[in-house]
Amino acid sequence: MSFSEFLLLYVILMTTMVLSRTVPLFALRGRELSPRLVAILDLIPVAAFAALVANDLMQPEAWATGNVWQALVPLIAAGGVVVVARKTGSLIGCAVAGLVFYVVLGAIPL
């Protein structure tokens, strides 16, 4: 890909990104949003984070090689984090618990 092709692609993508983020801001400015729409919009950060985390939790290469324990460690650690999240509601507590679960489970030689 030449530099001019890259630049054209970059400009098109940047324009699309800027428009998709700014047009709704101007279109909805000063309007009262329904509680249902606000609830839906509040789910966007959670969904984006879940998409990032799901990539690390599901390890197809570990399943493909037959290393079931390596594939299960992140899922078990995530289950522990869910329990901590339900009990404490603390983001820092969840991060620490996730690290501890992952390190402890990863240290088990199977």
Q: What is the tens place of the pLDDT at every residue in 30-81?
A: 889 899 988 998 888 888 888 878 877 888 888 888 888 888 888 899 999 9
Question: How high is the pLDDT of residue 93?
Answer: 92
- State the Cα–Cα distance between residues 74 and 70, nearest whole angstrom: 8
In this prediction the pTM is: 0.56
Question: How high is the pLDDT of residue 92?
Answer: 92
CA proximity to 94, closest of 107, 77, 74, 110? 77
Question: How high is the pLDDT of residue 2?
Answer: 93
**16 has pLDDT over 80:** yes
Question: How high is the pLDDT of residue 101?
Answer: 93
- Indicate the angle between helix axes 35-42 and 44-57, nearest 10 degrees: 30
- State the Cα–Cα distance between residues 27 and 29, nearest whole angstrom: 6
Distances (CA, A) of 75 to 39, 49, 102: 28, 16, 9
Higher local confidence (pLDDT), 48 or 87? 87
Between CA 88 and CA 65, with CA 81 as vertex, the angle to 5 degrees is 180
Q: Tokens at residue 68, please?
A: 């079931």
Tell me which range, 41-45, 58-62, 85-89, 105-109, is most confidently predicted by mean pLDDT. Answer: 85-89
